[in-house]
Structure 1
Amino acid sequence: MEIQALVDDLARLIKRPITVENTDSRLIAYSAHEWPVDAIRMETLLRKGASKATIDVLRKHGVYMLIDSSPGVVKVKAIPAIGFTSRMAAAVRSGREVVGYLWVDDDGVLLSAQDETAIMKTARLLSSKISKLEPVSEALENDADSLVMEILSPAGGKATLLEHRARLHGLQLYPPFQVMVLAGKASLLPQGLGVLRRHAEGFLLQEDVEAIAGIYEGDVVIVVAGEPSPRVRQVALGLARHVEATGFPVSVGIGCSYRELSMVNRSLQEASEAINLAAGLNLLDQGPCFDYGQAALGDLVMCMPHCKARRTYGRDVVRKIALYDRLNGAELLKTLEAMLDCGGKRKDAAEYLHVHPNTVDYRLRKIEKVTGFPLDDPSMRLAVHLWIKALRYSGDQGEDQA
């Protein structure tokens, strides 16, 4: 959504005039010419920005300092001498750096909590768009990297200090905490990592996610706060697709969710391990996102083909089916795996396999005949399901016959 559209939407929602300026008080966008309009707003609209004299007066009265130092919406008192009526304002921040100001007319009625939330959300969405108009300072990016490093440090910093620094970057450190790692599928130079991080920041702002991104040990690391795990997985998938569309093929690892900030480093380790597990299972080309919790099964089954020399029931059943498939050009093993993956729901399995449910039924009967495998025994289903995964990952299905 463009800057003007964001401003118009906010003005309609809170029913007040809106003006957006950069830090040089150059007018960027404003809502329709609602009346009454005070002298300063009229000047700003006609001149496409406030005059130097006006800016000097506002600075003398500490207006910009007040806005810059507040993490939320502040009320700015009137300055009758220059025709400046009272109004609300919020800083538009790109990380720690203020890149603009969002001004809201004060009609004498207190803003509701919903209105304040809408104003701050718009300020966050404006951030990435105004940042594209203004160069992002290297100092700002370095500070974000420093904050991410401090949050991820096993020793950790003082929670209150971290929370204060995070607020300056527009991040509220509320639990739960979860880490995503963006690893390039090809090696990236530092400049490439910086571009990748900025793409990620823009997407996270657009999705209104409480998160901060930084470069850490050669990857882009994102610390997410206050979001449930399903939402984080959804965001990770959208982020991977967004970044890949810009020409950066990536794998995204997702760590587990924790209530304590001190556990964020563990979530980082898990996010990195999720990518390593996917690489070990040759799955990197099958999807951009890898959740450590969901990859745990892969971690288990990787060692199963070599964990014991003696024959086991599950392995023998799978190899019998694989041998039958190879000799007869059948797809019994694929069908059984789909059926087990779908929790025994034949219609879902049929849809996944693109066959009629009756075909699934026929193949399952054939499996029972070939192996004697009783599909109604939950313990045996689990054993066979695990061995299907283990032997598929190891690539030796059907190499030996029972």
Structure 2
Amino acid sequence: MNLGINPFDRQFDSIESIVDTISEVLQCPATIEDVSHKLMAYSSHVADTDQARIATIIGRRVPEYVISALWQEGIIQQIMASTEAVRIPTIQALGLKSRIVIAIRNHQDVIGFIWVLDDHQLADDIAQLQLKRAAQAARIKILEMQNDRRKQEQQHYELCWSLLSGQEHSDMTIKEKAHQYGIQLPDSYQVIIVEFDAEISEKQYQQILYVVRTVEQIRVPLYVIHQNRLIMIAGTRSVRQTIAQYEEERSHFMDRLVQRFHAAIHVGCGSYYRQYTSTELSYHEALVVLQIKEAFPDEVDEIQNYRDLGFYRFLPAMVTEKEKTKVEHLSITLLRRYDLEHGSDLLTTLEVFLKYDSNVKKAAEALHVHTNTLTYRLKRIMEIGQMDLNKMDEKVTLYLELKLNKMK
């Protein structure tokens, strides 16, 4: 092989012609992927090629289990950090034979990858030189393709916000736009909001895009990143996938976000709808979940779906109504006043008693007091607050009033 001649120093009419040249020069099967591991082009291969390559070609992207495993082993991070080609040994558990891979860069940004199946143990110096040359040729072609993609992403962004803000009023028009933009909408969908503790940095933004674009088991046709939130319109991958299976995969996706960013996240999911004119409603419901989780972290921390909030989902509307009238519950007002004047904590005692469904023993344990002490306090609460804790309606009213006070 004459290394002085650069076989990639010419005009290529397509990304496919570049991958064919790589395969011809190195005498190995090759693939070119974008930064999200979607397959852009692949060369021919012999019959005994590995399962990971076959699955990539069939699915038009690297299987999610392969990506996740390579991330966990630190291999993807190594590839993205290196300007050199990286050799990956055989990983039998993934059906992955040994490979050489190089990141395609535009300045410091990784915009794609070239993978070569290293069947013949290429010499490192030859592989490094030719793959660097190939990466430069691929960079030019990918940048051309990215210009078209940016226009497409802007269309997706605008459609997503128009759905979330309720600007689209015809389901037929929405589906026509989606078809025009090359978006495959799921039959049933929900809005998911993933809230991070701090505003998303540019680096995190790119990492989140990577995770969203590589998710396989749920369909995320539209998404936006705004301040500290990732907002997605998501649904089942296929008609055969049940809601239970979808929610299990959604949970795995959230786990990957936590592992990838080493950060706490808060998740709110709206109800499922079939009409895309209801996107704004699902978005509002997801926001309610986050609002309730902020007000009641201990009670609803594990809940993600709006449907699972129970009576909590009615609290925002009740708060709005309460603020109109400015009427305070007399018993709560009397107890609060007494606590302030005497340095007591009767209101908290009442709240804990109601939380444990009027179970004196459990409430006393939670308050770290004797049951006799709690019984005495409850008697004083009923006297001072002018209430009857033997009446269910009165207890329910007090319970809700105390919850509403936490929503303010």
2:319 is matched with 302
Q: Secondary structure at the match of 2:56?
A: strand
Q: Secondary structure at the match of 1:367?
A: helix
Distance 2:365 2:253 in 1: 27
Q: Which residue of the other structure, out of 144, 157, 161, is the alignment partner of 2:175?
A: 157
Q: Are the counterparts in 1 of residues 160 and 222 from structure 2 also a CA contact under 8 Å?
A: no
Q: Are the counterparts in 2 of residues 342 and 349 from structure 1 also a CA contact under 8 Å?
A: yes
Cα drift, residue 223 of structure 1: 3.0
Aligned AA (1:84): A
Distance 1:198 1:86 in 2: 27
Q: Are the counterparts in 1 of residues 190 and 271 from structure 2 also a CA contact under 8 Å?
A: yes
CA shift digits 1:281-306 (9 cap, x unpaired): 698xx979886564634413434554
Aligned AA (2:404): A
Q: Which residue of the other structure, out of 79, 90, 108, is the alignment partner of 2:55?
A: 90
Q: Does the alignment pair 1:335 with 2:346?
A: no
Q: Which residue of the other structure, out of 198, 201, 206, is the alignment partner of 1:194?
A: 206
1:321 is matched with 335
Q: Are the counterparts in 2 of residues 350 and 360 from structure 1 also a CA contact under 8 Å?
A: yes
1:263 is matched with 278
Q: Does the alignment pair 1:53 with 2:27?
A: yes
Cα drift, residue 192 of structure 1: 4.4
Pair 238,369 (structure 1): closer, same or farther in 2 beyond 3 Å: farther
1:371 is matched with 385
2:65 is matched with 122
1:93-104 superposed matches below 5 A: 98=61, 100=62
Distance 1:351 1:158 in 2: 61
Aligned AA (2:175): G
Pair 183,287 (structure 1): closer, same or farther in 2 beyond 3 Å: same
Q: Which runs of 5+ in 2 are unaligned?
A: 1-17, 33-37, 80-102, 104-109, 113-142, 169-173, 237-242
1:225 is matched with 235
Q: Are the counterparts in 2 of residues 237 and 289 from structure 1 also a CA contact under 8 Å?
A: no
Cα drift, residue 366 of structure 1: 2.9
Q: Are the counterparts in 2 of residues 253 and 290 from structure 1 also a CA contact under 8 Å?
A: yes
Q: Secondary structure at the match of 2:175?
A: coil
1:173 is matched with 186
Q: Are the counterparts in 2 of residues 211 and 223 from structure 1 also a CA contact under 8 Å?
A: yes
Pair 272,390 (structure 1): closer, same or farther in 2 beyond 3 Å: closer
Aligned AA (1:220): L
Cα drift, residue 317 of structure 1: 0.8
2:224 is matched with 215
Distance 2:266 2:393 in 1: 35
1:20 is matched with none
User: Root-mean-square deviation (CA), in Å?
Assistant: 5.3
Q: Secondary structure at the match of 1:157?
A: helix
1:104 is matched with none
Aligned AA (1:258): Y
Q: Are the counterparts in 2 of residues 180 and 254 from structure 1 also a CA contact under 8 Å?
A: yes
Q: Are the counterparts in 1 of residues 196 and 265 from structure 2 also a CA contact under 8 Å?
A: yes
Q: Are the counterparts in 2 of residues 149 and 216 from structure 1 also a CA contact under 8 Å?
A: no
1:387 is matched with 401
Percent sequence identity over aligned pairs:
14
1:74 is matched with none
Pair 245,87 (structure 1): closer, same or farther in 2 beyond 3 Å: closer
Distance 1:214 1:325 in 2: 49
Pair 245,131 (structure 1): closer, same or farther in 2 beyond 3 Å: closer
Q: Are the counterparts in 1 of residues 335 and 385 from structure 2 also a CA contact under 8 Å?
A: yes
2:89 is matched with none
CA shift digits 1:190-236 (9 cap, x unpaired): 5543344446778x67xx65546743455421333244598699679
| TM-score between the two structures when normalised by the length of structure 1 | 0.52
Q: Secondary structure at the match of 1:90?
A: helix
Distance 1:304 1:329 in 2: 32
Q: Secondary structure at the match of 2:29?
A: helix
CA shift digits 1:10-48 (9 cap, x unpaired): xxxxxxxxxxxxx979xxxxxxxxxxxxxxxxxxxxxxx
1:73 is matched with none
Q: Which runs of 5+ in 1 are unaligned?
A: 1-22, 26-48, 60-66, 70-78, 101-119, 167-171, 395-402
1:115 is matched with none
| TM-score between the two structures when normalised by the length of structure 2 | 0.51
Aligned AA (2:65): T
Q: Are the counterparts in 1 of residues 157 and 222 from structure 2 also a CA contact under 8 Å?
A: yes
Q: How many residues of Structure 1 are paired with residues of Structure 2 in the alignment?
A: 293
CA shift digits 1:315-364 (9 cap, x unpaired): 00111222232233332211222333344444554555455555544433
Distance 1:346 1:186 in 2: 41
Aligned AA (1:179): V
Cα drift, residue 181 of structure 1: 2.2
Q: Secondary structure at the match of 1:215?
A: strand
